[in-house]
Structure 1
Amino acid sequence: MREDVDKEENVISVSNNMSYEIIKRLIDIIGASIGIIFLSIIFLIVSIAIKIEDPKGPIFFSQIRVGKNGKEFKMYKFRSMVTDAEEKLEQLLQFNETTGAMFKMKYDPRVTKIGRFVRKTSIDELPQLLNVLRGEMSLVGPRPPLPREVDLYTKYDKQRLLVTPGCTGLWQISGRSNIGFTQMVELDLFYIEHKSLLLDMKIILKTCFLFLGSKGAF
C-alpha cells in the first residue's frame, strides 16, 4: 500500500456524459460480437491445445474481479496455469516482480506451455469479450483488480473503480507488466478524467497493432 498523504486529498473529477456512455455501450456490444465471430477459429484452436496439454483440466478459467463501484463479477480467461494455481500463489508472493497490490512473475512456474504462448500474445484475454457483452466490462477501461488487491488500495487508488473496467486500456498499451502499480493507477485516472470516444478508438487501434506482439506481457 502506498503512503502518500498528498494523493489521498487529490480526488479526480468524473464527467457523466450520457451520450458518450450510450455510444460506448453500443460500440462494446457490436465490437465484442464481431470479435467473437471473427476470432472463433482462434477460440477453437486454443481450446483444443489446452485440452491436449491437460485433458483433465478446464479450458476456461474464471476469477472474481472487482468492477465499477466495487461490484464483484466473474471474469473469464483461457486457462494458462495449472489447475491448482491459486493454492500455489502464497508460496510465490515473495518473488513478486511488480510493485503495489499486483502480483507479476515473469517465469511463473504455474504457467503451462500453451499458457506461456496465450499470455505472451494476450490471447488468454479473449474470453473477456463475453464479460463485455454482459455489461460487466467494456472494451476500454481500467484493468479489473482482484478483491485481495482492492483490500490494499488507498482511497486514491479506489478511484480506478469509478468506471466500468476494460479489456484494454492505457496501462496495457503503455508497457503492461513493465509498468508498476503506481504508474498503472496514474494512467487509469488520466483515462477516467479524459475519457472520450476518440481516446477509446486510439486505445483500441493501438491494442490491435500490439495484439500479436509480446511487448510487456508475461
Structure 2
Amino acid sequence: MAELTSEPEIDALVFDVLGTLVDEPAGIRAGIRRLAPALDDSTVEELLGLWRHHIEREQRRVVDGERAYAASQVVDLEAARVVAEAAGVDDAAAVAELALAGRRLPPWPDTVAGLARLAQRFPLIGLSNASRTALLGLNAHAGLRWHQALSAEDARTYKPDPAVYRLAVDVSGLPPERLLMVATHAWDLRAAQALGLRTAYVARTVGDPPVASDRFDVYADDLAGLATRIGA
C-alpha cells in the first residue's frame, strides 16, 4: 500500500464526517429506541436498515438528476416517517424527534483528540453531506472543531458528485493535490481521487473498506495513526 512520507506535500486536510468522525448508526439506533423503547434488537436493526436505505437511495437520486436537491434534514424527516410507519408509531412529534437523530451522533473515541493533534499542523476542513443546519448541530453535539466546515448543500447535490469536493478545493485556494481527503468510505475517497485530491483511508467498523484495486495514499487504523503517518 502506498504511503505518504513523513513530510507529506499536502497543505490541508479534508474530512468526511458521517461515519469517519462520528458513529452514525449508533446515533440513529438511539433515536429509534427513543421512538419505540419496546422494540427488540433485531427489529431496531431492521429499522436502521430502512433509514439508511432511504437516505442512500434519495441522495443517489439527487446525484443522478432524478430528484431536485433536498437538504439532508428533509431527507432525514422522510426516513423518520418510513421508520415510524414500519414501527407502528403514529405521532408527529415523535417522528420529528427521530428526524433529529442525525444531529446527535457520538464521536469515535479518538476523534476529538485526533482532530486537535492534526490541527496543530494542518488546516482542517469538514466536508459533509449533512446540511448547514444539521452540520452545525452535529458539530456541536460531537465536539468537532474545524477551521472550516463545508456542507454539500452549498453545491446543491451530495457526495460523490464532484461538485461537493470542489467546495473544499475552492475554499482552500489550493491545487487539489495539496489536499488530503480523509474518509472511512472507499467510495468517498475514489470520488475525491478522481478530482485530484490525495487520499487517506481510516478504518471504522461502519465504513466502506477498500478493495484490492484501490490505491490510496495513506491507510490508518485511527486518527492517531493518521497523524503519525503524515508527520503531525
Answer 1 or 2: higher relative contact order, Cα 8 Å, separation at least 6: 2
TM-score by length of 1: 0.30
TM-score by length of 2: 0.29
